[in-house]
């Protein structure tokens, strides 16, 4: 699609980042680059679309919309999660008009063509009889479920997902996300480029002042330059206690302060999962650190630290013993990103009795809104002609640097393909 001079321009732009510095203005401003990101990252990669527990029964579905495309994520008759384009093969009408629901068959509202839950065409009354129905099923989208998390890919031949599953599944398994249920879904339209949301996510340099709730519960805002001996001692003791509890169950732990190193541009790794201790007194990422819902999954003790999984370009999740909070990004323009947050609790928990939203939501809702405000503010600044990329902190922004290197490498590699 790109003219050769446009391609040359994009490559020059991708080469224009100075190592150790942020991205130049055009990365947040050039509509051609944004379209290339959509084509080469978002339409090639694996995207988190939602949780499988959102569709417990065959025929249950939800929609995941991205850049004009609507994808039906549906549980098939075999219990597996399928993804199908929400577009009739006849005249192209959207079939499912509600963001979630249940169907026996997918019936197009225009001329009532009917498809089964796997997308096979069943009925096309009114058409010439010689048409081959087997060629007119709903177009499929690649889909994989890992421990209750549904990933889709719009690529014709997506990257092998097996290594991702191998890396994530064992760490995620005890959380039992597939046996969860939605406590709350919230959508935010954040006026910031999607990369700024990740840059914000990949450093905790901003946490001390901006996230008063978060820093009380976590160790990872400490870094090499400010982990005083008292903090290191505290982390050591909490880690030892947790290891003694979890070790028997084969659950491993990460001890050091500072954020988990992610992504890994040197090996092209865009996914990660790990568990890490919370501060003493915190068994859940809640306002007071107390448990606010029944234990999830395989847990028999609330002291499990916090589980974290991330995958580029659109997903991270924080899970405590009693709930999880997934964050799902979808770009809706060069300077706008839809951010969906999904809170899960155990499927058997009853709202009002076993948990209340006023206790469950605030910790991550506050932290998230603090970040969305930061990102919006930064988008305004980097759009200015007065913006020049600044130096990154080697102590505190190493993961941001990793993210930028990964992003540029991905773009350059795929533009060359």
Q: Catalog residues that contact its own copies under the rule CB under 8 A.
A: 22, 43, 68-71, 85-95, 97, 109-112, 126-128, 131, 136, 139, 141, 154, 199, 205-206, 209-210, 223, 225-226, 374, 377-378, 380-391, 393-396
Give me the least distance between CB of 185 and its own copies, in Å please.
Answer: 21
Give me the least distance between CB of 94 and its own copies, in Å please.
Answer: 4
**Nearest CA-CA partner of 174 in 292, 309, 278, 293:** 309
Give whichever of 280 and 391 is closer to its own copies, judged by the CB atom: 391
Give whichever of 202 and 308 is closer to its own copies, judged by the CB atom: 202
Give whichever of 259 and 292 is closer to its own copies, judged by the CB atom: 259
CA distance 320 to 345: 10
Give whichever of 95 and 360 is closer to its own copies, judged by the CB atom: 95
**Strand ranges of the sheet holding 81-85, from the earlier edge strand across to the other edge:** 47-51, 149-153, 140-146, 81-85, 69-75, 60-66, 100-102
Residue 67: is it exposed, middle or buried by C-beta count within 10 angstroms (0-12/13-18/19+)? middle
Give whichever of 90 and 245 is closer to its own copies, judged by the CB atom: 90
Give me the least distance between CB of 313 and its own copies, in Å please.
Answer: 17
Q: Is the dihedral of CA 10, 336, 287, 272 positive or negative?
A: negative
Give whichever of 166 and 388 is closer to its own copies, judged by the CB atom: 388
Give me the least distance between CB of 182 and its own copies, in Å please.
Answer: 25
**Strand ranges of the sheet holding 114-115, from the earlier edge strand across to the other edge:** 106-107, 114-115, 121-123
Peptide linkage before 184 cis (omega within 30 of 0): no
Structure tokens at 113: 């063509």
**Using N-to-C axis directions, what is the helix angle for 362-382 and 194-201, rounded to 10°?**
120
Give me the least distance between CB of 396 and its own copies, in Å please.
Answer: 5
Give me the least distance between CB of 90 and its own copies, in Å please.
Answer: 4
Give whichever of 320 and 379 is closer to its own copies, judged by the CB atom: 379
CA distance 320 to 304: 7
CA distance 355 to 1: 52
Give me the least distance between CB of 6 and its own copies, in Å please.
Answer: 11
Q: Which residues, 6+ apart, have CB-to-CB distance to 9 below 8 Å?
A: 32
Distances (CA, A) of 310 to 3, 23, 114, 315: 35, 22, 38, 6
Give me the least distance between CB of 24 and its own copies, in Å please.
Answer: 10
Give whichever of 323 and 402 is closer to its own copies, judged by the CB atom: 402
């Amino acid at each position: 699609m790109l003219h050769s001079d446009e391609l040359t321009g994009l490559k020059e732009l991708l080469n224009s980042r100075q190592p150790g510095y942020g991205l130049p203005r055009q990365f947040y401003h050039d509509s051609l680059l944004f379209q290339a990101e959509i084509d080469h990252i978002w339409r090639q990669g694996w995207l988190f679309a939602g949780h499988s527990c959102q569709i417990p029964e065959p025929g249950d579905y939800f929609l995941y919309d991205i850049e004009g495309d609507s994808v039906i994520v549906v549980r098939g008759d075999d219990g597996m999660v399928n993804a199908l384009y929400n577009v009739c093969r006849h005249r192209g009408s959207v079939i499912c008009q509600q963001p979630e629901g249940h169907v026996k068959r997918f019936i197009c509202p225009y001329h009532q063509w009917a498809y089964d839950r796997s997308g096979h065409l069943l009925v096309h009354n009114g058409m010439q009889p010689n048409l081959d129905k087997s060629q007119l099923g709903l177009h499929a989208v690649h889909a994989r479920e890992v421990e209750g998390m549904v990933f889709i890919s719009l690529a014709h031949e997506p990257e092998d997902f097996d290594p991702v599953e191998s890396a994530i599944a064992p760490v995620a398994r005890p959380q039992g996300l597939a046996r969860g249920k939605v406590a709350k879904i919230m959508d935010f339209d954040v006026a910031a480029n999607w990369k700024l949301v990740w840059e914000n996510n990949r450093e905790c340099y901003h946490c001390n002042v901006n996230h008063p709730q978060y820093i009380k519960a976590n160790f990872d805002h400490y870094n090499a330059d400010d982990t005083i001996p008292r903090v290191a001692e505290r982390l050591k003791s909490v880690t030892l206690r947790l290891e003694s509890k979890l070790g028997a169950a084969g659950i491993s732990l990460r001890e050091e302060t500072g954020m988990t190193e992610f992504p890994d541009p040197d090996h092209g790794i865009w996914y990660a999962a790990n568990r890490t201790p919370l501060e003493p007194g915190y068994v859940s990422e809640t306002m007071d650190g107390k448990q606010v819902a029944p234990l999830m999954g395989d847990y028999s003790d609330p002291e499990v630290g916090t589980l974290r999984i991330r995958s580029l370009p659109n997903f991270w999740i924080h899970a405590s013993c009693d709930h999880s909070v997934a964050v799902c990004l979808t770009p809706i323009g060069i300077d706008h990103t839809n951010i969906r947050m999904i809170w899960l609790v155990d499927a058997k928990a009853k709202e009002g009795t076993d948990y209340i939203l006023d206790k469950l939501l605030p910790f991550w809702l506050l932290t998230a809104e603090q970040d969305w405000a930061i990102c919006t503010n930064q988008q305004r600044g980097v759009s200015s002609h007065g913006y020049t990329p600044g130096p990154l902190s080697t102590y505190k922004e190493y993961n941001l640097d990793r993210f930028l290197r990964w992003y540029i490498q991905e773009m350059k590699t795929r533009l060359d393909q």
